[in-house]
Structure 1
Amino acid sequence: MTITSDPTMGDFDVLVRGGLVVGPTHVVPADLAIADGLIVEIGPEIEGSAAAEIDATGLHVFPGCVDPHVHLNDPGTDWEGFSSGTEAFALGGGTCLFDMPLNASPPTVDGPSFDLKVAAAREQAHTDFCLWGGLVPGDVDRLDELAERGVIGFKAFMCDTGVDEFPAADDLTLYEGMARAARLGLPVAVHAESDAITMGLTERARREGRTSVRDYLETRPPFVETEAVARAILLAEETGCALHVVHVSTAAAAVLVAEARSRGVDVSCETCPQYLLLTDEDAERIGALAKCSPAIRPRAGAEALWGEVGAGRIPMLACDHSPAPPELKQGDDAFSWWGGISGLQTLRGTLLAVAQERGLTLPEVAGLTAGAAAERFALPRKGRLEVGFDADLALVDLGHEGIVERADLRYRYPQSPFVGMSTRGRVVRTLLRGDAVIEDGRLVPNATFGRIVRPEM
C-alpha cells in the first residue's frame, strides 16, 4: 500500500484510491474521498486532489467495527483499560466500542462515575467509544443523570455479576428501571440467565466437590437463558422499553426475540464468536481462558446458533471482551476462575475465516460487525461506508490467512481462547474519522484522539 501526502494539495483531506469498498449490499471497486472527518464521495476515479492519498489497490475497505459489548476497566483497576483495549480493537479494524459499566472502580451507575470514566477514556482512547450506564438495585433514580450525560443505554444483570459493587437487578428493579428507561427513550441491555437456577446448581455442585469445567457447564444449561429472556421480554412489552439481549448463546433465545419482535416488541439481540466458534469440548480442552457466562454450548447448539445468524434473526456480533489478570484464571476449581473471554482484537478476522463456508457475504460480515449495532443504538454516522458517514475505515488484505498468535495480541494480558484459531484478513490501516490510527499493522504514535459518541435519538 502506497501513501503519498502533500499538505499544499487539497480538494479533500484524504483520498483512498482503488480499493474494493464493502457497502451495505455490494462490494464495488471505488475511490473514497474524506473531508472534515466524513465520507464526502464514493465512486470510480474521483477527480480532485487531497492532502494525503492512499493506494488501496488489492485491499478491501470495510467499515470500522462497531462493537456494542466490551468490558474495559478504567478507571480504578489494573485490568484491561482504554489504552490497551482500544489499541487491540483498532488493530482488528475497530473504530467504535461500547464500554460496559460494571468493572470500573467505581462502576458507572450515576453521573459522577460517568464523568470519571469519560475523563479516563479521553486521555487514552485510540478509538471512539460509547458508555453503557448501570441499572442496579437502588439506582433507578440515577438513570436520568446518566441519560443527560449521554449513555447509550442501561445494562442490567438478571444473575450474579461476581462484582459486589454491581449487584444483579431483581425483577422489581428491572421492571421499574425499564419503565424509567422507556420514558428516557433509551434501551435496557440484559444479561439474561436465571439467577435462582444457576446459583442453586452451583451451590449443589460445589457442596458435592464437583468443580471441573464440565461441572461448571452443567450448572448453566441452555434453558436458564431462555427462561430469563422470556421474562425480560415480558417486562419490556409491559413497559414499552427497548430491550437488547446481550451474548445470546442459544437458538431458542434468538427465536424468542424474533417472535417478540414480530408482534411489535422493540427487542434485539447479539451473539459472540465464542458461541459460534467454540464448543463444550473446546471449553474443557482450553480451560480457564474459555470460561464465560452464558456457558459455551455443545456443537449442535453452535450449529443451531449459526442458523439464526444466517436467517438474519441475530443481526450483530459482539466480542464481550471481559479480560482478567492471569492469577484469576488459575487453579483447579472452575467455579473460582473469572468468567470472561478476551476477543476484542479478533472479532472480524475469525468471522472472515469461516464466512464463505457459512454462506456469509462480505456485506453481511460488515453488517454483523458494524452496521447493525450502529443502527440499533442510534449512531447515524457510524457503521457504514456511505456519504455523510464518519470516515471510519479498515483497509484489509483478504489474501492474508493465518492463525491467532499470542504474540500479536495487544491486550494488557495477552491471553485468549482464540489463540491457534484460523483468521483471515490482515488489517493494514485503520482510519478514525479520516485520521490514521493503525498503519502497516502498528499503532500510529500519539493516535489518542478517540471521542465519546452519544446516541442521536
Structure 2
Amino acid sequence: MTSEQLAHDLVIRAERAIMPDGSAAVEIGVRDGMIATIAPLGAGLAGAQVRTLAADEVLLPGLVDSHVHINEPGRTDWEGFASATRAAAAGGVTTVIDMPLNSIPPTVDVPALAAKIAASEGKRFVDVGFWGGAVPGSTPNLAPLHEAGVFGFKCFLLPSGVDEFGALDADELELDLRELARLDAQMIVHAEDAGAIEHAPPAHGRGYADFLASRPRGAENLAIAVVIERARWTGARVHILHLSSSDALPMIVSARRDGVRITVETCPHYLTLTAEDVPAGATTFKCCPPIREGANADRLWEALTNGTIDAVVSDHSPSTVDLKALDTGDFGQAWGGVASLQLGLPIMWTAARGRGIDLDRVVGWMSAGPAWVAGLQRKGAIAVGADADLAVFAPEQTFVVDPAALHHKNPITAYAGRTLQGVVRTTLLRGVEVDFHTPRGALLRRGHA
C-alpha cells in the first residue's frame, strides 16, 4: 500500500454507491473531511477506520435541500436550527439553505443575516447556508448581502403570508433583476400572480376543491410568464420555486430555448399527493401553490425525467399545530405549508419505484440538482474533492410515518400513517457520523462551499 492509501481517516466499502455516472461497487477514502480517493471495491484502501456497508445498504451522496424554512429567530416555536437540522440529518440531508422569511427579522439586510447566523451557532447538525430576501425598497441591500455570502435572493409576487416580507410588483422585480444581473446573482421566485388570486374565489371551509379553486393554475402560469420576460429583458438568472402547475412547463422549455437563464424545482408533495385524495378538513395538506390533480402530477414526473425540472426540494414550511386549524378543518384559516424535511427521500423513492424509476435518478434530483441550482461546488456528489457528506440508505426497508417520532419541532405532517419505502440508517457529515447530540454543521457562504 502507498502512504497515500494509509493516510485515509475513513474508508467506506459499498457494494452499491450512487455515483455521478450511475451505481458502482466502490471504496471511498476520506481525508480531512473530503473524499480523497475512489477505487473499485476490492482495491483494499486502508485508513484509520474502515466501514463496510451491509448487503442491503446503498451509499448515497448527502442530499441537499435548498428550500427550508427554519424560522429562527422570531418564530422558533414553529421550527428552529437544532430541530430542523436534526430532522435533515435523519433524512440523509447534509446541507440545507434557509429561506429568508418566517423568521423575525427576515433576511433582507446584513444585520438580519448576522442575527440568523448568530441564532444558528451551536445548533447546526448539518451544514447551513442562507438565501437573502428581496422586498419593496431593499434594492440597495442586495449587493451587501451578496458580498456577505447569501446564495441568492427570494421574492414573492403576491402577499407572502407574513407582514414583514412584502411582495414585489413586476417593475420592482425588474429593478432588482437588473441589480442581480450586475452581480451575477440569482433571484428565486414564489411565482403566483396577486391579481389572479384576488379574482379567484376566496378560500374557505373544509372542502379541498374550494381551496384549490382559490389558487388556480392560471395564477402560477401568469406569474411565471412575467418572471420569464423580465429575466429575458435583464439577462438575470431566475429560479422558479415549488412548481405546482404543469401548464407552465412549455413556457419554461421555450424560454430556455431562447437563452433565458431559468431553473425550476418542485417538491415531493406535488409529485406524490393528489387533490382527489385530500379528505375534507385535512388542512395538513394545505400549501401554496396547492397540491393539484393526479394528472398534473403525472406531467410533473415527466418533466423531471426529461430534465425540464432541475431539482426536488422539500419546501419544509412548518408551523405550530394550532395554526393548521385542525379543530375546524377550515382551509381558509389554516397556515399553508407541508412539513416533510426528514421524509423527502423515502417519499420520493416510494413513489418513484412504483413508476419504474431507479434510485440513482431520485438521488440525483435531491442532491446534485439542488447543489447545482444553489451553486454549491463541493456538495451533492460522491466525487474526489467533494465534502465527504454521505448517507447510508436501506431502500427495501419500510416504515410507517409517526409524526411524534420525527425530529421536526411540531408533530404534524401530511404523511402521517403512510407506509414508506427506504430508511436512512446513518448520515455522515464530512466523514463524521451525525450522532444527534454534537452539532458539527458548518456555516456555508456563497463561493466557499
- Whether the TM-score (by the shorter chain) exceeds 0.5 is yes
Quick one: which amino acid aligns to residue 51 of structure 1? A
Paired residues for 1:416-431 under 5 Å:
416-431=413-428
Match 1:306 to one of 301, 312, 328: 301
Does the aligned pair in 1 maintain the 2:185–2:237 contact within 8 Å? yes
1:30 and 1:176 map into 2 onto residues whose CA distance is 50
Equivalent residue for 2:46? 49
1:286 and 1:384 map into 2 onto residues whose CA distance is 41
Q: Could you report, residue by residue, the CA deviation over 1:150-188 in whole angstroms, capped at 9, with x for unpaired residues?
A: 010000001111100001111121111111111111110
Equivalent residue for 1:5? none
Gaps of 5+ in 2: none
Q: Could you report, residue by residue, the CA deviation over 1:94-142 in whole angstroms, capped at 9, with x for unpaired residues?
A: 0001110011110000000001101111321111112110000010110
Answer yes or no: is 1:186 the counterpart of 2:185: yes
Superposed displacement of residue 340, structure 1 = 0.7
1:212–1:354 distance in 2 versus 1, CA, 3 Å:
closer
1:373 and 1:123 map into 2 onto residues whose CA distance is 25
Equivalent residue for 1:73? 71
Secondary structure of 2:397's aligned partner: strand
Does the aligned pair in 2 maintain the 1:118–1:452 contact within 8 Å? no
2:10 and 2:254 map into 1 onto residues whose CA distance is 45
Superposed displacement of residue 357, structure 1 = 2.7
Secondary structure of 1:372's aligned partner: helix
Quick one: which amino acid aligns to residue 394 of structure 2? D
Equivalent residue for 1:215? 210
Match 1:382 to one of 379, 382, 399: 379
Q: Could you report, residue by residue, the CA deviation over 1:322-346 in whole angstroms, capped at 9, with x for unpaired residues?
A: 0000110113431111111101011
What is the percent sequence identity of the aligned residues?
36
Equivalent residue for 2:90? 91
Answer yes or no: is 1:259 the counterpart of 2:254: yes
Does the aligned pair in 2 maintain the 1:152–1:377 contact within 8 Å? yes
Superposed displacement of residue 251, structure 1 = 1.7
Superposed displacement of residue 211, structure 1 = 6.4
TM-score by length of 1: 0.92
Equivalent residue for 1:365? 362
1:346 and 1:211 map into 2 onto residues whose CA distance is 26
Match 2:61 to one of 63, 68, 91: 63
1:211–1:354 distance in 2 versus 1, CA, 3 Å:
closer
1:14 and 1:28 map into 2 onto residues whose CA distance is 19
Does the aligned pair in 2 maintain the 1:24–1:366 contact within 8 Å? no
Q: Could you report, residue by residue, the CA deviation over 1:54-91 in whole angstroms, capped at 9, with x for unpaired residues?
A: 12132100111101111011112221011101101110
Secondary structure of 1:169's aligned partner: coil
Equivalent residue for 2:438? 446
Quick one: which amino acid aligns to residue 209 of structure 2? R
Match 2:13 to one of 9, 14, 17: 17
Q: Could you report, residue by residue, the CA deviation over 1:385-439 in whole angstroms, capped at 9, with x for unpaired residues?
A: 011111010011122123322232110002100122332221111011111115x
Equivalent residue for 1:34? 30
1:328 and 1:255 map into 2 onto residues whose CA distance is 36
TM-score by length of 2: 0.94
Equivalent residue for 1:395? 392
Secondary structure of 1:183's aligned partner: helix
1:433 and 1:315 map into 2 onto residues whose CA distance is 25
Does the aligned pair in 2 maintain the 1:254–1:269 contact within 8 Å? no
2:264 and 2:400 map into 1 onto residues whose CA distance is 29
1:152 and 1:358 map into 2 onto residues whose CA distance is 34
Superposed displacement of residue 202, structure 1 = 4.6
Secondary structure of 1:47's aligned partner: coil
1:49 and 1:33 map into 2 onto residues whose CA distance is 8
1:173–1:284 distance in 2 versus 1, CA, 3 Å:
farther
Answer yes or no: is 1:122 the counterpart of 2:118: no
Match 1:341 to one of 338, 350, 368: 338
2:309 and 2:251 map into 1 onto residues whose CA distance is 11
Q: Could you report, residue by residue, the CA deviation over 1:279-298 in whole angstroms, capped at 9, with x for unpaired residues?
A: 11333346111100001101
- Count of equivalent residues: 440
Q: Could you report, residue by residue, the CA deviation over 1:17-47 in whole angstroms, capped at 9, with x for unpaired residues?
A: 2341101221111111100111111112343
